[in-house]
Every structure is written in structure tokens, then in C-alpha cells.
Structure 1
């Protein structure tokens, strides 16, 4: 590892621009993947959500089935009680006892009607839930198929670029170790604040690359002198002269060509 204290300003600028080119190459690889990783993640969440929903419907249906069985058992008990009361009516001693048993029978019949009404409602609920389950299953199968295709697409891209990306990440980490903490922090801050991730740019036609603001000749001479780190007053980017940029680009292109 290089001793950062011994690095000249020119060496610092070389290391910074080399890091910029490597990080930009990593950005380029990741942009190919685009939103795929997020799409896969969202689809996985949707599949998990639909699966949980289906499990809940299954539990609900089992619960309703159990309630229907309870109601049917209750109806059998009510019918059995009615028969018992009807038998007792044959042996009553007076009208009062007969009427009392009649009321009990009527109450049992009302309980049967109520139970049958609940069974009818629960059966309707089952039919509705079964319809929703069928629709949810179709939706789940469609999402699972979509997820399978998206995962395959992502895996293809990953397998093509993984080796190259890992190499570049290692190179980026290696270059970062050559740059003093203050400069590296500034580089990362600038990179994170600009849309294209360019924290270090060269001078092109008297202006910083990608900018329309002309840099004063005196400043251009100072940049070409490579004696101090100079930033663009408009964008905050670190500036290097075009000759140094070309030298570093050539070195990096030779490196990238080996991938």
C-alpha cells in the first residue's frame, strides 16, 4: 500500500481520476441491471403476500366448515329434543303441561330455523371465498411465472457481469487506499450529489467536462500545473487537465481490455 503522505498532488489526481473511471465502469455495469433487482424484490414480496392470503383463506374455509358441522350437530340435537317432547305430550295430565311442551317444541324449531339460516349464510360465504381463492391462485401463478422470468433475466446479467464487477470493486477499494481520507470523503460526497456520479472531470475547450461555464485561463494554468487540488466553483467537481486525463484513460482502458 502506498504511503499517502508521500504522494504528490499529481499522483493524488491520477489516483482520484483512476478511481473515478473505475467507479463509472461499475455504475455502467449496474445500470445494465437497471431496476431488475428491485423488480425481483417487489415480485417476491407480492408472491409472499398472495401466499399468506391464500393460507388465511384456507384457514377461514376450514373454520367455516367446522362451524357448519357444529350447526348441523346442533340441529340433530334440537330434532332429538323435539321428538322427546312430542313423546312426553302423549302422556301429559293437563293442558298446561301440553302447552308448556308445545312452547318448548316451538323454541327448538326456531333454533333449527336459525341454525339453518346460519348454515345457508356460511355456505354462501364459502362459495364467495372459493371464488376469491380461485382468483388469488391465478394471480399468484401469474406473479410466480413473472418472478421466474425476471430472476432468470437477472441471473443471466449477473453471470455475465459478476466477474468483471467484482474485479472492478476490488480495484476501486485498492485505489481508495491510495487516497487520503479528506480527499476520499470529498470525492464520495461530490459523487453522491451529482446526477451522473462524476466527481472528477477534465478540462475540455476551456470548461469542465459537461459544463458550459468557462474556466479562467489563470485557473486552467494552475490545473495544468498539478500543484494543488482545484474544484469547479459551479459544480464543485475536482478538475484535472486534459493531458493527464488522457494518460489515465489509456491506462484504465488497458486494464479494462483485460476483463
Structure 2
């Protein structure tokens, strides 16, 4: 990279680099115009993909909650069956007690197991209601997910069609841009890209027309315009921060 930078600085004058920046801006603006055909499709596709990912997470969570409730249901049913077996055993033991104290002790154990069964039945009803409500949520989430999946497929298909149609032009302009970039040193390219990101229309390099900046339309002083025409250094608009170049059209005339 350092070698390329030195080569660019050695082979091209500042004026040539400034003109190269202007040509690069023209090409990038053409690519921007092509990309405008896509409109909000890329963002819509990204939003739908993000929404689908969120829905998959939600569906997985609901399924996990249903599985947990099913596991708790099985556990409670086993506990109920075990309690019933213990009650039957205790009742059989009551027939062979030797005194009232033993009878009362076994009776308390039976009552305890019956309370456990009642509690288990209450929990089972809660689990059943929970599973039912979770399944309703799952059906809604899956239905919405299917709807969004169809929307995503349609948007992606439309976007892919536009990209396929414009790809040759974008590739051609991209190749032209790479050739021009070879004339510009890394420092200027970094500044150019930074300005492009920070302005709403992507115009980092603008001409001076009718004594004004072609980006923000603020008036440029005569001496500054003379410096711009000389092209000996990079001159930035003090109002909008764009790179200013002399309008090449009048020069050609």
C-alpha cells in the first residue's frame, strides 16, 4: 500500500489528482443513481430478515416452554400415581394396626398423600391451561412467520431482479472507478469516502458554479475561486466540508 501511495504521488500532480477525484465522484454518483432504483428494498429485506430471525427465536422459546410444561405434567402424573399406590398401601396397613395411635398415624399419612394428589391435580390443570395458551401463541407466531417469509421471498426476488439487471453497469462503472483510484493517494481517498458518508447526497466533490459551492450553494470568495482553478492544493468548502473543484465545462469551451 505504501509503494502504491508513493507511485501515485510521484506520477500524478495535485491538479491531476483533483481532476481524478472529480471523475471518481461522477462515476460514484452514477452508481448511486443506479442503486436508487432499488429504493428501500435493501432495507426492507434486511428488516424482514431481522424480523424472521426474531420470530424463529420466539417460536423456539414457545416450543421450549411447551416442552417444559409437558415434562412437568408427566412428573406430576407420576407423583399422583405414586401417591395413589401409597394410599392403597396405607389403607391395607390400617387393617392390621394394633392400636389407635398406629391407626391415627397411618390416617395422617393417607390425608397427606391425598393433599399431594389435590395439589398435583391443581398444578396439572395449570399446566394444561398453560400449554393451551402457549399453543395458541405458537400458532399465531408460525402464521405470522409464514406471512413474513412470503413477503421476504417476494422482496428478495424483486431485489435480485433489479441487481441482476443493473449488475453489468455497476461492474463497468466499478472497473472505471478502480482505474481512477490508482491516480489518487490513500489519504485523499480516505477523506473522499469520509465526506461521502457524511453528506446526504453522497457528493464529496463539487464544482464552483456561479461563484457558489455546488453542494451547499454558499458564495465562494474570488481569491478562493482563483486558488481552486489553479488546482495546487485541496480546498474544502468552509460551509459544508465538500472538496471544491473548478467547473471543467467552461474550460472545455
TM bucket normalised to smaller: 0.7 to 0.9
| TM-score, with length taken from structure 1 | 0.81
Structure 2: distance between partners of 1:99 and 1:70: 30
Find the counterpart in structure 2 of residue 20 from structure 1: 25
Residue 61 of structure 1 pairs with residue 70 of structure 2: no
For 1:57-96, list aligned pairs within 5 A. 57-96=62-101
| Partner-residue secondary structure (3-state), 2:245 | strand
Pairwise CA distance, 1:125: 0.9
| Partner-residue secondary structure (3-state), 1:202 | strand
| Partner-residue secondary structure (3-state), 1:33 | coil
| Partner-residue secondary structure (3-state), 1:160 | helix
Would the alpha carbon gap of residues 19 and 91 (structure 1) be closer, same or farther in structure 2, given more than 3 Å must change? same
- The match for 2:136 among 123, 131, 134 is 131
Pairwise CA distance, 1:42: 2.3
Find the counterpart in structure 2 of residue 241 from structure 1: 247
Residue 51 of structure 1 pairs with residue 89 of structure 2: no
Structure 1: distance between partners of 2:98 and 2:130: 48
- The match for 2:218 among 210, 213, 216 is 213
- Provide Cα deviations, 1:124-151, integer angstroms capped at 9, x if missing partner: 1111111111111122112211211111
Pairwise CA distance, 1:183: 3.8
Aligned residues: 246
Structure 2: distance between partners of 1:245 and 1:98: 117
Could you tell me which runs of 5 or more consecutive residues in structure 1 were left unpaired when the two chains were aligned: 248-259
> C-alpha root-mean-square deviation of aligned residues, in Å?
2.7
Could you tell me which runs of 5 or more consecutive residues in structure 2 were left unpaired when the two chains were aligned: none
Pairwise CA distance, 1:116: 0.8
Q: Which moved more, 1:59-68 or 1:177-186?
A: 177-186
Pairwise CA distance, 1:105: 1.3
